[in-house]
Amino acid sequence: MSRIKIGGGITLRPWQKKVMRAFDNGKRWVVLCVSRRAGKSLFAWNLLIREAINKPGTYWYCFDNYSTAYKAIWVAMTSKGIRFLDMIPKDLVLSVNSAKLEIKLTNGSVITLVGINKADKLVGAGLQGVVFDEYAVLSPNSIEFISAMLGETGGWRVMISTPRGKNHFYEQFNFAKAHPEFAYTLQMHCGMPEIAQYMAPGFLDQERLQIINKY
């Protein structure tokens, strides 16, 4: 069987490869507490693409609202100018619906970017997999609506966010950490060498000076 290359030429970072290995080893409940610009959305998007290609089904990538989804994925690109939508192999794309932020693949899979602020209108889909982006700012009630859709399929969920205090994401992270038999957690912040190396030269030093000056 020939290999299908996704990602539009990007290379996964070491921490992203570590999460991918955990997923491939059966961890279908993944919680990532990762700082900004560390590549968490890039990783989650490519994981969703890969799974949609491997297993026909319905896949959602969830944000708080439609506008965020449009800006963060639909028209977004990496620092090297690679469009997120171009990370899906073109010969596997059947159709693209910009109004619905929906992509249908030739194998029958459907990838949809979803704003979950009106999740009560989205019930009924049998999801194979879902990504919750910036989980900390999503409505817990909306999350519960969508999580229930995974019940029939036994689908996977990936929850990614920057930390925002002791809220429902904090609780989710601690829950997953306490259940390594089925969940996987990872915490990465911008001061760590593995993350810092991808920041623009001098950026962290400038930010550090501003914080020292402020506090």
**Model-wide pTM > 0.75:** yes
- pLDDT at 73 exceeding the cut of 60: yes
The DSSP output letter for 71 is: I
Among 41-55, 112-126, 155-169, which stretch is predicted with the lowest mean pLDDT?
112-126
Helix (H) or strand (E) holding 183: strand 183-188
Query: How are beta strands 110-115 and 58-63 bridged, if at all?
Result: parallel
**If you average pLDDT over every residue of the chain, what do you get?**
87
Distance (Å, whole) CA 61 – CA 49: 10
- Return the pLDDT at 93: 97
% residues pLDDT > 70 (the chain): 86
Residues paired with 114 in a beta bridge: 62
- pLDDT at 172 exceeding the cut of 70: yes
- Return the pLDDT at 119: 62
Res. 121 pLDDT band, cuts 50 70 90: low
